[in-house]
Copies of this chain bind each other. A is one copy, B any other.
Amino acid sequence: MSKGRVTVIDIAHAAGVSKSTVSLVLQGSSLVNEATRAKVNVVIRELGYVYNRGAANLRQAKSKIVGIVVNDLTNSFFAELAVGVDMVVQSAGYVQFLSNTGESVDRQREVVASMREHGISGLIVSPARGTEAADFKPLTNAGIPVVIVVRNIPGAKVSSLVSDNFAGASAAVEHLAGLGHRRIAFMGGFANTAVFAERLGGYREALAKAEIAFDDDLVVATAPSRAGGVEAVGRAMLLAHKPTAAVCFNDAVAFGVCDGLRARRLEPGVDFAVVGFDDVIEAESAVPALTTISVDPQGMGRRAAQLLLKQVNSGKVEAEAIVSAVRLVVRQSSGAGLDTTARRAVS
């Protein structure tokens, strides 16, 4: 409070010990006498000493800082992800640098560089569109572990956490079969994409497990949009043997399917069960009584952070470890459109 910041040397002086002793008590070392430790701690409190982690980091050539960069924090999926990361990072005594790229690879490059200069010991990144595998090469070369989440970067030699499309679709079908449905359609999505293939694969496997014959007519590929959903349900309802439920490629499609059902005087969730992959998380409450399959973003964040910290602590950066995270969410929203998951008030 008087002159400049108080340092270890000040408190060593005041406590009548040497700086190293002070340093040891700061690190909670057991190599120091209980009485001395107590005395030092008292002085620390009295002088209002604050530990300078920067100096320690410099000396030890390592830090307890991790970087997390997301492409769109405005999307609550990523916000939840960041919260999940923060939870484990915090309780591990780390702090997180968080940056938002807004889907700009340039900005991403900047913030990653900045974080590196600040000495992050690991990085979790939900890459902006257009990110290349080479973009993280400098980090991994320097022995800084990187965990990519949500989107996969083919060829990047780092750990990735992406949703398990196969298991998700499978869980959706299982859920519907459990409700007694036998005519379950798969609606929406472009058939020539990898994601479509994975989700369809999960769908087929779960059908087989439930001993339901696969019917090609029930797979209705359309654009992965709301309009696509409307189109899909329209086509499905032309079938002689109509479906009673549908797994939708994503929730946009699911919304469209609901629209289409209502146009036919059918009530989604009552007359016809709809399950959608929850890719557009933000809109979750827009259509009540809709069941969705989604990865739990917070859980994904936690897993990403654990994965990262494991590598940080072991000093080993992993290469090409694809892990998966999926959760089945059955939403119990009220017809009013405001359910128990509605957020807390601000003020």
Residues of A within 8 A of B (CB): 1, 5, 48, 50-55, 57-58, 61, 63, 65, 72-77, 79-80, 82-83, 86-87, 90, 93, 95-100, 107, 110-111, 114-119, 138, 141-142, 150-151, 163, 195, 224, 226, 250, 252, 255, 259, 279-283, 285-287, 336-338, 342-347
Contact = CB atoms under 8 A, between A and B. Distances in A.
B86 A98 contact: yes
B345 A250 contact: yes
Given A90-B111, A118-B53, A336-B259, A61 B343 contact: no
A96 B111 CA distance: 11
Contacts of A287: 337-338
30 contacts: A51-B117, A52-B117, A54-B54, A58-B58, A72-B344, A74-B76, A74-B80, A74-B343, A75-B346, A76-B282, A76-B343, A79-B79, A83-B100, A87-B100, A95-B99, A95-B111, A95-B115, A96-B98, A163-B347, A224-B345, A250-B345, A252-B345, A255-B336, A255-B338, A259-B336, A279-B346, A281-B343, A283-B285, A285-B285, A286-B337
A343 B283 contact: yes
A102 to B, nearest CB: 8
A283 B226 contact: no
A141 B107 CA distance: 35
A82 B55 contact: no
A144 B5 CA distance: 13
A195 B115 CA distance: 41
Number of this chain's copies in the complex: 2
Nearest to A151: B347
A286 B342 contact: yes
A99 B86 contact: yes
Contact of A57 (B54, B75, B226, B250): B54
Interface centre among A54, A61, A90, A259 (most CB of B within 10 A): A54
Contacts of A76: 74, 76, 79, 282, 343
A109 to B, nearest CB: 12
B73 A86 contact: yes
Contact of A5 (B61, B107, B115): B61
Contact of A346 (B52, B82, B150): B150
Contact of A50 (B99, B117, B279): B117
Contacts of A82: 73, 98, 100
Given A95-B114, A96-B99, A118-B65, A343 B282 contact: yes
Most buried by B among A250, A281, A287, A337: A337
Given A96-B97, A150-B347, A346-B280, A338 B286 contact: yes
A101 B285 CA distance: 25
